[in-house]
Structure 1
Amino acid sequence: MALLEIKNLSVGFDTSTGQFMAVQGIDLSVDAREVLAIVGESGSGKSVAMLAVMGLLPKAATVTADSMIFDGHDMLTMSGKQRREIIGRDVAMIFQEPMASLNPCFTVGFQLEEVLRFHMKMDRPTRRKRAIELFKQVGIPAPEERLNSFPHQMSGGQCQRVMIAIAIACNPKLLIADEPTTALDVTIQKQILDLLVSLQAKHGMGLIMITHDMGVVAETADRVIVQYKGRKMEEADVLSLFEAPKSPYTRALLSALPENATGDRLSTVADFMKNEAASAGVAP
């Protein structure tokens, strides 16, 4: 049985002109020890779908699904109290902007220890010891000192490592990483990706990697879902996706990679979709 299995997930937002559907009829599943990549352009509904799983969407959002089963539990029918016990403990999420996700008014150590206090019921000395272990695990130097730092006293890469430490603090069964390297330079991006994959393998977690970067997909994923305008375009294992993509949109994403450039100008997704439509005799 899959660790997480979602059927027919849709998310809509009320607007002045009617309801905008950000996610439309998505099916997905991920197993323990598997890395699932959800890929697509900004605005394709990748993050919204996972925020629906986490229960972090605003009240203006309408979330419907035929089923949303995590580790044998129906997340659609469980109470708010039951959901709060699972979220942050068994299911954790790393967000795009670490500086925006951490509270600037509290030390990073306090924020990490709060997770351990709430979910693991640890006393203060045990929390401190565990926090130091976690900082060491994610590669933060001088962890005893860094626990007393505020977010603004740390670099973007270090703050992202803090967010990863918070996410894995309770040894979650499922980790969702939402564009975890977006705000980081290339060298730090590689370090963070390597860290996530090694932690996933070490702890046997399911990992959902949300990204628009096909290079990240190639490096990390076992299986890939391609989304476009809130819909699932294609799902395949990573090798099949790169060798024989079935969806025109997937081919468009791959054609826009720098290594696939022809001539002096790099093709865009819009260019490719326009050419595909012209070849099929359809108006773009």
Structure 2
Amino acid sequence: MPLLAIKNLSVSFLTSTGPFMAVNGIDITVDAREVLAIVGESGSGKSVSMLAVMGLLPDSATVKADSMVFDGIDLLRLEPKERRRIIGRDVAMIFQEPMASLNPCFTVGFQIEEVLRVHMNMDRSQRRKRAIELLTAVGIPDPADRLKSYPHQMSGGQCQRVMIAIAIACNPKLLIADEPTTALDVTIQKQILDLLVGLQQEHGMGMIMITHNMGVVAETADRVVVQYKGRKMEEADVLSLFENPQSNYTKALLAALPENATGDRLPTVGDYQMEVEDSTAVKTPPLEAPL
């Protein structure tokens, strides 16, 4: 049985111009100890799909699915209080922007210990000891001193490591990493990816890696789901995807890699006939005029 199995997930938002379908009937599964990459351009519904799993979408969102089963439990059938016991403990997420996700008003130590207080029922000394262990595990130097630091006193790479520490604090069964190397320089990107894969293998977690970077997919994933305009275009193991892509959109993504350039210019997505035609595609509502 998969660790997570989502069937026919759709997410729509109510806008001033009517409903906007951000995710349109996708299926996703991930096994324990497996790394699943969800890849696609910005706006393809990758993050929205996983925020639906976490229950973190705004009230303007309508989430529908035949089932959303995690570790044998259908999350859609749980009361909010029951679901909150699972989210953050057994299912954790690393968000795109660490500086926007960490609270600037509280120290790093407080924010790590808060997760332990809510989900692990630890006393103060246990929480502090565990927080130091977590910062050590993610490669933060002088972890005991860093507990007293505020997010603005740390670099972007260090804040990302703190976010990872918070996510793995309760030893989750499933870790969702949403563009975990965004806005980091290349050397830090490599360190963060190596850290995530090492933690995933050490703890036997299932991991979902959300990215638009095919290089990250090649380095980290066992299996890949390709999304385009809210729909799943293709699913394959990572080797098959790179050697024999089936959808035109996947071919376009791979052709746009610099190492695959064959002429004076890289091809664009527009050079390919996409499988989602205009008549059925998810349409982005027009921007509203400023007041």
TM-score (norm 1): 0.95
**C-alpha distance in structure 1 between counterparts of 2:189 and 2:206, whole Å:** 21
Match of 2:154 in 1: 154
Per-residue CA deviation, residues 223-251 of structure 1 (Å, 9 max, x unaligned), is 00000000000000000000000000000
Task: Flag structure 1 segments of 5+ consecutive residues without an equivalent.
Answer: 278-284
**4+ residue stretches of structure 1 with deviation over 4 A?**
none
Task: State the secondary structure of the residue aligned to 1:76.
Answer: helix
**C-alpha distance in structure 1 between counterparts of 2:177 and 2:272, whole Å:** 29
Match of 2:21 in 1: 21
Q: Which amino acid aligns with 2:92?
A: A
Match of 1:247 in 2: 247
Kindly state the Cα deviation for residue 271 of structure 1 after the two structures are TM-superposed. Answer: 2.6
Match of 1:34 in 2: 34
Kindly state the Cα deviation for residue 273 of structure 1 after the two structures are TM-superposed. Answer: 4.0
**C-alpha distance in structure 2 between counterparts of 1:160 and 1:199, whole Å:** 14
Q: Which amino acid aligns with 1:225?
A: V
**C-alpha distance in structure 1 between counterparts of 2:270 and 2:117, whole Å:** 49
Kindly state the Cα deviation for residue 163 of structure 1 after the two structures are TM-superposed. Answer: 0.1
Say if 2:133 is the partner of 1:137: no
Task: State the secondary structure of the residue aligned to 1:85.
Answer: helix
Match of 1:58 in 2: 58
**C-alpha distance in structure 1 between counterparts of 2:190 and 2:60, whole Å:** 37
| Within-5 A mapping of 1:1-284 | 1-273=1-273
Task: Flag structure 2 segments of 5+ consecutive residues without an equivalent.
Answer: 278-291
Q: CA-atom RMSD, angstroms? A: 1.0
Q: Which amino acid aligns with 2:193?
A: L
**C-alpha distance in structure 2 between counterparts of 1:243 and 1:263, whole Å:** 21
**C-alpha distance in structure 2 between counterparts of 1:192 and 1:117, whole Å:** 26
Kindly state the Cα deviation for residue 272 of structure 1 after the two structures are TM-superposed. Answer: 3.6
Contact 1:255 1:272 in 2 (8 A): no
Q: Which amino acid aligns with 2:251?
A: R
Contact 1:11 1:49 in 2 (8 A): yes
Task: State the secondary structure of the residue aligned to 2:252.
Answer: helix
Task: State the secondary structure of the residue aligned to 2:77.
Answer: coil
Task: State the secondary structure of the residue aligned to 2:76.
Answer: coil
**C-alpha distance in structure 2 between counterparts of 1:153 and 1:50, whole Å:** 30
Contact 1:96 1:183 in 2 (8 A): no
**C-alpha distance in structure 1 between counterparts of 2:17 and 2:162, whole Å:** 41
Task: State the secondary structure of the residue aligned to 1:233.
Answer: strand
Contact 1:252 1:273 in 2 (8 A): no
Match of 2:289 in 1: none
**C-alpha distance in structure 2 between counterparts of 1:7 and 1:272, whole Å:** 29
What percent identity do the matched residue pairs reach? 81
Kindly state the Cα deviation for residue 269 of structure 1 after the two structures are TM-superposed. Answer: 1.9
Per-residue CA deviation, residues 33-85 of structure 1 (Å, 9 max, x unaligned), is 00000000000000000000000000010000000000011100101111110
Kindly state the Cα deviation for residue 264 of structure 1 after the two structures are TM-superposed. Answer: 2.6
Q: Which amino acid aligns with 1:92?
A: A
Kindly state the Cα deviation for residue 266 of structure 1 after the two structures are TM-superposed. Answer: 2.0
Contact 1:4 1:68 in 2 (8 A): yes
Task: State the secondary structure of the residue aligned to 1:164.
Answer: helix
Q: Which amino acid aligns with 1:138?
A: V
Q: Which amino acid aligns with 1:243?
A: E
Kindly state the Cα deviation for residue 263 of structure 1 after the two structures are TM-superposed. Answer: 2.5
